[in-house]
Amino acid sequence: GQQVMQIPQYQHVQEGEDFTTYCNSSTTLSNIQWYKQRPGGHPVFLIQLVKSGEVKKQKRLTFQFGEAKKNSSLHITATQTTDVGTYFCAFSGAGSYQLTFGKGTKLSVIP
Amino acid sequence: GAGVSQSPSNKVTEKGKDVELRCDPISGHTALYWYRQRLGQGLEFLIYFQGNSAPDKSGLPSDRFSAERTGESVSTLTIQRTQQEDSAVYLCASSLAQGVYTFGSGTRLTVV
């Protein structure tokens, strides 16, 4: 079935540095969602992207969906310790509500 | 309810025993999902319920796993004859259409 590759698996940054995680698919995606899971917590929905080339911002977070709808990225500007956690991308197949999740990128922020 | 509620939050069981995990979705959410997350790993799809349709059981790892849902409300995930490899956090999520999930806090299952 469809899969997405999420890179990097781990990222350690100094507080104040920027961070980007990428989600890549070999096939066209109808949509993509991003979730954040804090250590010891459960995944929490961040955003959904549907349109080709779409860019959405949430404060210091910028989400992009590629023109070909095969890749997506999450960029955090000037990381803070509150950004620590694992970021997952996820997508649903045509006509299905079930999400397939990437393996996630675990972000550590060094104060 | 206001959120997705899962119980118990923690369960320690002896190898070979059966366990039942419960999920109470957000009222009105037609879709309900179970995922498994092993320590430090991603989310592994188990089963999906949508309204009155037949559930999608394609992710269940073995016949020791089963799940039921009563209408559009509570779901139970049952694991029979538990094995140590079943130790994980079991996450339930519910959604309306469009597949935006709200997750519960999960049940941490430890098989000893």
Percent of chain A with pLDDT over 90: 87
Beta strands in chain B (DSSP E): 5-7, 10-13, 19-24, 31-37, 44-50, 65-69, 75-79, 88-95, 102-103, 107-111
Distance of CA B72 to the CA centre of its chain: 15
pLDDT at residue B79, as a whole number: 98
For residues A4-18, give the mean pLDDT. 97
pLDDT at residue A98, as a whole number: 82
Residue B91: list chain A partners with CB under 8 A.
42-43
**Rounded to 5 degrees, what angle do the CA atoms A73, A8, A99 make?**
60
pLDDT at residue B52, as a whole number: 84
Which of A95 and B61 is assigned the larger pLDDT?
B61
Least confident interval from A7-11, A99-103, B19-23, B64-68: A99-103
Which tokens hold the place of A100? Answer: 């397939």
For residues A40-44, give the mean pLDDT. 95
Amino acid at A75: H
* Best B9, B45, B58, B101 residue to mutate vs chain A (most A CBs within 10 Å): B101
Residue A97: list chain B partners with CB under 8 A.
31, 48, 50, 95, 97-99
**Residue A25 CB-density burial (10 A; 0-12 exposed, 13-18 middle, 19+ buried):** buried
Asked if the model's pLDDT at residue A95 lies above 80, the reply is: no
Residues with Cβ within 8 Å of A3's Cβ and at least 6 positions away in sequence, in order, are A25, A26, A100
Q: Convert the pLDDT of each residue in A57-87 to its tens digit.
A: 999 999 999 999 999 999 999 999 999 999 9
* DSSP secondary structure letter of residue B55: P
Torsion sign, CA atoms B71, B96, B74, B60: positive
pLDDT at residue B2, as a whole number: 80
Residues with Cβ within 8 Å of B54's Cβ and at least 6 positions away in sequence, in order, are none
How many whole angstroms separate alpha carbon A37 and alpha carbon A87? Answer: 6
* DSSP secondary structure letter of residue B57: -
Question: What torsion do the CA atoms of A22, A31, A63, A111 make, to the nearest 10 degrees?
Answer: -60
CA distance B80 to chain A (A): 25
Taking only the tens of pLDDT, chain B with its 112 residues reads 589 999 999 999 999 999 999 999 999 999 999 999 999 899 999 999 988 888 999 999 999 999 999 888 899 999 999 999 999 999 999 998 667 899 999 999 999 9
Report the mean per-residue pLDDT for chain A. 94
CA distance A58 to chain B (A): 17
CA distance A20 to chain B (A): 18
Which tokens hold the place of A68? Answer: 């070909």
